[in-house]
């Protein structure tokens, strides 16, 4: 992690002053304070990360009873497991005795979790099975000390978690994007590749970079050859209209042209953004590969290539880019004040065979290449933003519209959090 000079006189009062000042400059990038303040980071974890729906993994990672994987976020760790009854659940990886991690290996299959410290034993559903010699303590009951649960919801095979146990059911919101997503066959999809790119930057810089394509033409030459998002809407309107007119007929996926735009302050549920839009690839390109040619069998219900790609938002930090033959899931997770895990997961059709129906290097080439370019540019961005001489400039009104939306939501959220502490 790159060290930065953080504010030594940081406080809620200082944060409140910075929020007030930020509000006087709508449409401008965030003040550098928000990227280097420990008070801010602590509030972000509590009021954003632990209150939002986050992609944890895919059901294919835990097909059998006893399977589990860990999802690390912030300074925390969550266990996602499949119990003996086949149900998937999530729980905090924190022993109820004195707080040791009960599980260290990132994934596996177990009959139980045995805490390495004093040996308390937990079932795969998190209930406490045995606590060595604790019967000496009058009134001790294993039922009182199960691993603390995390809210968990499965949508089209994707497992989402929310640390806020009071969070409302997300299903009604997800239903809004079910039609365009359903055709992808995600519930039966197979993970072709999964890579974590640790980025030395605050999570907001990594997210802001994803939310805009102003940088695509300059930073992503390979991507910009095939994807029309690098252009202003009016420049590619005929291309997009032609693709939208044919997409449902060519692919056979009803609802593929549906547009849903409920993210950040437009989301009906805090931390539960849902969004879908389909945009055109340039003529001659069929998918998001190095040469624009197919790299895997058609997924789910897709019957053909329409020359389009779908962009989904699933919560504030999870995104998907869907092509007819594969899709890419993006997840951004803060791991420290200037450390962010950018994870990409590439999915292909569930029955596709690696080396026969697809080569994972070809499936992952474009977005691996693009992500490395992003990692490079975000790190440079972080260095500049953390300089004492940085003065935020204006966002582009169209290209960086989503970044503006995010920043407004972020500032409102921090304001509420600061008011609660006051």
# binding residues, Fe ion (CB under 5 A) = 1
Which of 73, 115, 275, 418: binder of ligand FES (CB under 6 A)?
115
- Which of residues 208 and 374 has its CB atom nearest to Fe ion in the complex? 374
Nearer to ligand FES, 129 or 182 (CB): 129
Contact string 1-20 vs Fe ion (x = CB under 5 A): --------------------
Q: Is 25 in the site for ligand FES (CB under 6 A)?
A: no
Q: Check binding of 95 to ligand FES (CB under 6 A).
A: yes
- Report whether 311 contacts 276 (CB < 8 A): yes
Which neighbouring-strand residues pair with 330? Answer: 319, 344
Piece of 1-9, 24-32, 110-118, 369-377 that binds Fe ion (CB under 5 A) = 369-377
The region, left, alpha or beta by phi > 0 then psi within -120 to 50, assigned to residue 348 is: beta
**Does 97 interact with ligand FES (rule: CB under 6 A)?**
yes
Q: Among ligand FES, Fe ion, none, what binds residue 372 when CB lies within 5 to 8 Å by partner kind?
A: none
Distance between CA atoms of residues 195 and 269, nearest Å? 30
- Which residue's C-beta sits nearest to Fe ion? 374
Residues 63-92 that bind ligand FES (CB under 6 A): none
CA distance 178 to 186: 11
In whole angstroms, how close is the CB of 196 to Fe ion at the nearest point? Answer: 17
* Residue 195 CA from chain centroid, whole number: 13
Among candidates 223, 410, 226, which has minimal Cα distance to 308? 226
Looking at 45, 65, 100, 405, which residue binds ligand FES (CB under 6 A)?
100
376 makes contact with ligand FES (CB under 6 A): no
- Please give the size of the binding site for ligand FES, defined by CB under 6 A: 10
Q: Which is nearer to Fe ion, 200 or 374 (CB)?
A: 374
* Cα 226 from Cα 230, distance rounded (Å): 9
Name the residue nearer to Fe ion (CB basis): 44 or 374.
374
Whole-number Å distance between alpha carbons of 376 and 390: 19
Q: Tell which positions 382-421 bind Fe ion, by CB under 5 A.
A: none
**From Fe ion, ligand FES, none, which one binds at residue 117 (CB under 5 to 8 Å depending on kind)?**
ligand FES
d(CA 299, CA 182): 11
374 binds, among ligand FES, Fe ion, none (CB under 5 to 8 A by kind): Fe ion
- In whole angstroms, give the CA distance from residue 162 to residue 53: 5
Q: Which stretch binds ligand FES (CB under 6 A): 113-121, 135-143, 155-163, 264-272?
A: 113-121
Least Å distance between CB 146 and ligand FES? 13
Which are the contacts of 215, defined by CB distance < 8 A and separation ≥ 6? Answer: 209, 377
Query: What is the smallest separation between the CB atom of 207 and Fe ion, expressed in angstroms?
Result: 11
Number of Cβ within 10 Å of residue 24's Cβ equals 7
Tokens describing residue 368: 């691996």
Q: Is residue 117 a contact point for ligand FES (CB under 6 A)? A: yes
> Could you tell me how far CA 183 lies from the centroid of its own chain?
21
Q: Using CB distances below 5 to 8 A depending on partner kind, what does residue 98 bind out of Fe ion, ligand FES, none?
A: ligand FES
Q: Render the burial of 300-318: b for 16+ CB within 10 Å, e for the rest.
A: bebeebbbbbbebbbbbbb
Of 118, 129, 182, 339, the one binding ligand FES (CB under 6 A) is 118
CB of 410 vs ligand FES, minimal distance in Å: 36
How far apart are alpha carbons 84 and 87 in whole angstroms?
7
DSSP element (H, E) containing 199: strand 190-199
Of the candidates 374, 403, 406, 410, which one interacts with Fe ion according to CB under 5 A?
A: 374
**What element of type H or E holds 178?**
helix 178-182
The binding site for ligand FES (CB under 6 A) comprises 95, 97-100, 115, 117-120
């Amino acid at each position: 992690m790159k060290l930065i000079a953080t504010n030594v006189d940081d406080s809620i009062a200082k944060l409140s002053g910075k929020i007030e000042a930020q509000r006087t400059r709508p449409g401008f990038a965030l003040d550098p304070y928000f990227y280097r303040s420990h008070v801010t980071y602590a509030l972000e974890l509590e009021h954003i990360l632990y209150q939002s729906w986050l992609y944890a993994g895919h059901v294919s990672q835990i097909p059998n009873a006893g399977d589990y994987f860990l999802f690390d976020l912030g300074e925390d760790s969550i266990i996602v497991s499949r119990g003996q009854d086949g149900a998937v659940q999530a729980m905090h990886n924190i022993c109820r005795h004195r707080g040791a991690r009960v599980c260290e290996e990132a994934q596996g299959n177990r009959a139980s979790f045995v805490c390495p410290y004093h040996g308390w034993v937990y079932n795969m559903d998190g209930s406490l099975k045995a606590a060595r010699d604790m019967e000496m303590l009058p009134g001790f009951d294993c039922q009182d000390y199960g691993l603390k649960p995390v809210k968990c919801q499965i949508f089209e095979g994707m497992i989402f978690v929310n640390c806020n146990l009071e969070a409302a059911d997300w299903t009604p919101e997800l239903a809004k994007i079910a039609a365009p997503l359903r055709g992808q066959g995600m519930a039966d999809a197979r993970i072709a590749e999964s890579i974590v790119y640790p980025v030395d930057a605050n999570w907001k810089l990594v997210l802001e970079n994803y939310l805009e394509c102003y940088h695509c033409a300059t930073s992503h030459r390979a991507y910009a050859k095939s994807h029309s998002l690098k252009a202003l809407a009016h420049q590619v309107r005929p291309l997009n209209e032609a693709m939208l007119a044919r997409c449902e007929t060519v692919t056979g996926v009803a609802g593929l042209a549906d547009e849903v735009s409920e993210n950040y302050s437009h989301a009906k549920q805090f931390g539960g953004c849902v969004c879908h839009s389909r945009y055109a690839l340039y003529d001659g390109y069929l998918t998001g590969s190095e040469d624009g040619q197919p790299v895997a069998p058609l997924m789910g219900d897709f019957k053909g290539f329409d020359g389009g790609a779908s962009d989904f938002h699933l919560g504030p930090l999870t995104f998907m880019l869907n092509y007819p033959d594969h899709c890419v899931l993006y997840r951004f997770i803060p791991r420290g004040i200037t450390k962010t895990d950018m994870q990409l997961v590439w999915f292909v059709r569930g029955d596709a065979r690696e080396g026969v129906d697809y080569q994972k290097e070809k499936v992952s080439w474009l977005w691996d290449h693009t992500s490395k370019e992003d990692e490079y540019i975000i790190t440079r961005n972080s260095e500049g933003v953390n300089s004492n001489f940085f003065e935020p400039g204006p966002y582009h009104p169209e290209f960086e519209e989503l970044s503006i939306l995010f920043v407004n939501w972020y500032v409102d959220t921090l304001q509420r959090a600061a008011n609660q502490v006051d």
